[in-house]
Amino acid sequence: MIPSTPINLFEYETLAQNRLSQMAWDYYASGAWDEVTLNDNRAAFNRYRLHPRMLVDVSQRDLSTTILGQSLSAPVLIAPMAFQCLADPAGEVATAKATAHSGIGMVLSTLSTKSMSEVAIANPQTWFQLYIHRDRNLTRALVEYAYKCGAKALCVTVDAPFLGRRERDTRNQFVLPQGMELANLCNLQAKDLDIPHRQGESGLFAYFAEQLDPGVTWTDLAWLRSLVPLPLVVKGILRPDDAIRAVEVGAEAIIISNHGGRQLDGAIATIDVVSQIVAAVGDRTEVLMDGGIRRGTDILKALALGAKAVLIGRPVLWGLAVAGETGVQHVIEILRDELSLAMALSGCAKLQDIDSSLVSRKS
């Protein structure tokens, strides 16, 4: 039986499933096709074992770090996730307030149900995630809008030339509830950009899906970087050679990601490629990763393999569904407390003490 106050992220997940509609739950929880990658993202962490140091003074721990010059209380950011108002009416604004209170980073999805302008007020350190669209004027308008709102970085997702096939959504005939809007695109509609007015917000989502451009190349990333003076973060890297290309076009950070298992099913689990990618790029860019993180020990393993920070996805939605802003804040607190304890038990008083000697892969 789950207690009234969850003590870990798995209990939040159970409570959230009971509170969300079937359509909303499946949209958040599902992966592509057979969900092999979705499940392997989580299972992969169990393929790694920790080698703790003993007799180290860990009476005080320091989890603080900086990412792109931004100070964080822990090496954690919130991944970009669409449609957060499905979980709570305050949606992305509640998440932003929780991250601001906790001192960690946040990346806002283009497909957010609260606008960048609203979210930036709640957390002025927010990054903006986007895709490069067929209509380059739309891309430019989104970038300029995010910059005007105070976004601290542009996070371009590169693993979605088409949307992955998520069969739970197909079965449910997923649509956004009436009254829920794609706030950033609606903002651009109001500015007379050539965005069609289709019936209902799901029509606007269909328009977005049509705008995904399968012809995007590395040259387009260089163009994107030229639009505004913001750091470029490339999200969706799974290969060392692609990581090197991202560095060559000027990416200040890359995010090792398989889109939470929602794009190519059968893609490698993210934790399994961290060390290879870090070795390929060295200190030329900051390397982050997401996918399957549910415990503080997962974060410790990712850092030991070379990631500078991690991004948390679905557990934030579970916290949002259970208790809104308070739930998100508690999810962050649980992870931070677990990481602090895992560091202490591994003989690490600060993040700089975490290195590759702490972790090995099971044979």
DSSP letter (8 states) at residue 177: P
Question: Is 290 part of any known ligand binding site?
Answer: yes
Question: Is 294 part of any known ligand binding site?
Answer: yes
The length of the chain in residues reads 363
Question: Is 261 part of any known ligand binding site?
Answer: no
Question: Is 23 part of any known ligand binding site?
Answer: no
Question: Is 296 part of any known ligand binding site?
Answer: no
Query: Looking at the DSSP assignment, which residues form a beta bridge with residue 155?
Result: 129, 233
Question: Is 319 part of any known ligand binding site?
Answer: no
- Phi, psi values for residue 310, rounded to 5°: -125, 160
Q: Are 252 and 229 in contact (CB under 8 A)?
A: no
> Which residue has 């679905």 as its token pair?
314
Question: Is 132 part of any known ligand binding site?
Answer: no
Phi-psi region of 39 (alpha: psi -120 to 50; beta: other; left: phi over 0): alpha
Question: Is 75 part of any known ligand binding site?
Answer: no
What is residue 158's three-state secondary structure? coil
Question: Is 80 part of any known ligand binding site?
Answer: yes
Catalytic position from the list 101, 197, 259, 330: 259
How buried is residue 226: exposed, middle or buried, by Cβ count under 10 Å (0-12/13-18/19+)? exposed
> Which residues fall within 8 angstroms of residue 153, CB to CB, at 6 or more apart?
68, 127, 128, 230, 231, 232, 233, 252, 253
Question: Is 262 part of any known ligand binding site?
Answer: yes
What are the distances in angstroms from CA 350 to CA 78, 230, 243, 302? Answer: 22, 29, 27, 15
Question: Is 235 part of any known ligand binding site?
Answer: yes
Q: Is 197 a catalytic residue?
A: no
Question: Is 292 part of any known ligand binding site?
Answer: yes
Question: Is 350 part of any known ligand binding site?
Answer: no
Question: Is 157 part of any known ligand binding site?
Answer: yes
First to last CA, the chain: 36
Question: Is 133 part of any known ligand binding site?
Answer: no
What's the rounded Cα separation, in Å, for the pair 54 and 115? 48
Question: Is 73 part of any known ligand binding site?
Answer: no
Question: Is 259 part of any known ligand binding site?
Answer: yes
**For residue 303, how many other CB atoms are within 10 A of its CB?**
24
Question: Is 293 part of any known ligand binding site?
Answer: yes
To the nearest 5 percent, what fractions of the chain are helix, strand and coil?
Answer: 50, 15, 40
Q: Are 297 and 282 in contact (CB under 8 A)?
A: no
> Which residues fall within 8 angstroms of residue 121, CB to CB, at 6 or more apart?
none
Question: Is 131 part of any known ligand binding site?
Answer: yes
Characterize the bridge pairing of strands 286-290 and 253-256: parallel
- Which parts are annotated binding residues for FMN? 80-82, 109, 129, 157, 235, 257, 290-294, 313-314
- Which parts are annotated binding residues for glyoxylate? 27, 131, 166, 259, 262
- Which parts are annotated binding residues? 27, 80-82, 109, 129, 131, 157, 166, 235, 257, 259, 262, 290-294, 313-314
Name the residues annotated as catalytic: 259
